[in-house]
Amino acid sequence: GENVEQHPSTLSVQEGDSAVIKCTYSDSASNYFPWYKQELGKGPQLIIDIRSNVGEKKDQRIAVTLNKTAKHFSLHITETQPEDSAVYFCAANAGKSTFGDGTTLTVKP
């Protein structure tokens, strides 16, 4: 089955800096790659996604890149704000979602 590895497990940045989270996947049949943000006590919420026919997608301060050949995709957050502090999960879909282990992002004011 699909295996998703996510790094780093924790990330601390100063407000205004950029944050990058990376994921690799194993199943070449995966064709949908969402990123979810989970705040304390809440369920995960989709923040951006990318499909296998696209290399990059951007939505304001958030961007995702996909390298199908290398089987990795990354989340980029620019101009980080304290409210970006949360746990972020990547996922890869080849018929069902397999999630990474999560990255705890802390943005220090």
Partner 1 sequence: SAVISQKPSRDICQRGTSLTIQCQVDSQVTMMFWYRQQPGQSLTLIATANQGSEATYESGFVIDKFPISRPNLTFSTLTVSNMSPEDSSIYLCSAGQATGNTGELFFGEGSRLTVL
E-strand spans in 1-109? 4-7, 10-14, 19-25, 32-38, 45-51, 56-59, 62-67, 72-77, 86-93, 97-99, 103-108
Tell me the two tokens of residue 54: 């696209």
- Interaction mask 31-70, partner 1, x per CB under 8 A: xx-x-x----xxxxxx--x---------------------
**Which residue's CB is nearer to partner 1, number 10 or number 18?**
10
Q: Does the protein bind partner 1 through residue 109 (CB under 8 A)?
A: no
Binding flag, residue 101, partner 1 (CB under 8 A): yes
User: Is the Cβ of residue 86 or residue 102 nearer to partner 1 in the bound state?
Assistant: 102
96 binds partner 1 (CB under 8 A): yes
Lookup: tokens for 6? 């996510």
